[in-house]
Amino acid sequence: MAEKLILASGSPFRKAMLVNAGLDLEAVPAEIDERAVEAPLADSGVSPEDVAAILAEAKAVEVSKRRPGALVLGCDQTLSLGDKIFHKPANMEGARRHLLSLSGKTHQLNSAAVLVRDGQVLWTHIGIANLTMRALDPAFIGRHLARVGYKALSSVGAYQIEGEGIQLFEKIEGDYFTIVGLPLMPLLTKLRDMGVIDG
């Protein structure tokens, strides 16, 4: 009998990815203030990859304290351009600024997954993808955002690669699942190794 996995997230994208892969899971959103967890890391020299892992771990540990004995998966994703970390834009003007900043450059998506049981970290993995955005005309950015609307605010980069956002790119290096927010292949391998899913 496969063990039920607890997903420490309210993300419908991550839940759908796991359900589509055949996992039995329950979503229990973590009750943490992500910006408060991240604030002390800002000037500490912690890499954007490690920030994603620290946030994913904080989510999983918080939920695991409420669900004794359960295997909990925490996830987080950061978008970095050099040392600068981007967060989800607060409004359409923020989305426009994100796209202007990323235009013509290669940015990195860092997707962390952490498995925790009873507050103990069992496994951590960070998947990395490099995405090169083509040089975007500011007027095109305005038209693009008008077409996609508020969906642009639901992702850290102000784009959905699985939708019209794919038109913004000239080159993508990395795993599709990592890009949409969860390093799924390494996670499935670990769950098989742990006997959580049939292998």
The structure tokens 């038109």 sit at 167
DSSP classification of residue 83: T
Give me the residue label for tokens 């607060």. 90
198 is catalytic: no
Q: Given phi > 0 = left and psi -120 to 50 = alpha, else beta, which region is 186?
A: alpha
With vertex at residue 176, the alpha carbon angle to CA 35 and CA 163, rounded to the nearest 5 degrees, is 80
Selecting among 50, 76, 118, 137, the annotated active-site residue is 76
- Whole-angstrom CA distances from 35 to 38, 41, 59, 86, 88 are 5, 10, 12, 12, 12
Q: Kindly state the tokens that stand for 102.
A: 């990323």
Look at the chain and count its residues.
199
Q: Are 61 and 28 in contact (CB under 8 A)?
A: no
Question: Which residues participate in catalysis according to the annotation?
Answer: 76
